[in-house]
Structure 1
Amino acid sequence: MLVSFESLSETAKVWIYPASRKFYKEELETVEEKVKTFVSEWKSDDADFKASYQFLYNRFIIVLAEDEDGKLTNQDIDTLVGFILQLQTEYELELLDKMNVCFKQGEYVQYKEIKEFKKLLKSKSVSSKTIVFDNLIQTKEELEHYWEVPITESWYNRFL
């Protein structure tokens, strides 16, 4: 069942899918509607199942679900990944590569391959204060407190 983000517990499971490019203005409404429909219908046979989503910076698709009783199965996760793969194909962008780096450069969110990001660090184009997105977080609490952090507070600090 689709619920508001705020109503989910701090331990709700989180999946973050960073897009390799911003969604174009004409795509936004359609993509968000598809995500909303998917989350609404995901595990619809389970009346106790609660899920939500967020669409941030026109680039990140974030799906959250309560899994207090361990009801999420591998098949449920496969269904989510299959949906994301469909979006990836339909909109011709990458959504599943979590090893690329997303970071803020002024008001813009950049998406770079790790190799290119290391070069930016070496050339001082980004600094230790640059805000990065840790797309490997796993809970709502981590999303709220540790998703957008300076490089020094992320696992990317090993490249400094």
Structure 2
Amino acid sequence: MKRVWIYQSNRFLKTEEITRIEEILQEFVSQWTAHGSQLAGSFVIRYDLFLMLMVDEEQAMVTGCSIDKSVHLLKKIEQELGITLFDRMQVAYKTADDEELRIASRDEFAALVKGGDVNNDTIVFNNMLTTVDEVAEKWEVPLKDSWHARVFL
């Protein structure tokens, strides 16, 4: 099974920031271990907004310490680039008309739902997923099919 951790930036990343993050993460995953065993780690940056860190647990299982190492690294990335990756109060969604990706605070998103600018069919991003297989089918979903529906509808 491939585990995944999805981190959403509080703003869209610039090209040079993505390059820097890729450099940092490439070095990290090449040396990422759990109890002395090399982890089969990888990463991807999607939409200039989402950072996905993955581990193939068929090679070696992640541990609390190895997860802590990744969190520590991401906090260093936050500091270096002046971004936030751990703010779960930001909602990413695609606009209905032009499929443009946008970010809103929970309060702003609730107001968009109430005002009708966001509806059941608005595509939202479920960053709570834990496996790569889930990401393929359940990451970008209509609001009505996500956990967001319980909170905002």
TM over 0.5: yes
After superposition, residues 9-158 of structure 1 pair within 5 angstroms as: 11-43=1-33, 45-47=36-38, 49-68=39-58, 71-105=61-95, 106-158=98-150
8 Å CA contact retained: 1:135, 1:147 = yes
Length-normalised TM-score, structure 1: 0.85
What letter is aligned with 1:79? K
Q: Return the offset for 1:117.
A: 0.6
Q: Return the offset for 1:68.
A: 4.2
How far apart, CA to CA, are the structure 1 residues paired with 2:143 and 2:106?
13
| Cα RMSD for the two superposed structures | 1.8
Length-normalised TM-score, structure 2: 0.89
Unaligned runs of 5+ in 1: 1-10
Q: Return the offset for 1:39.
A: 1.4
8 Å CA contact retained: 1:104, 1:130 = yes
Unaligned runs of 5+ in 2: none
How far apart, CA to CA, are the structure 2 residues paired with 1:69 and 1:33?
23
What letter is aligned with 1:38? F
Number of equivalences: 149
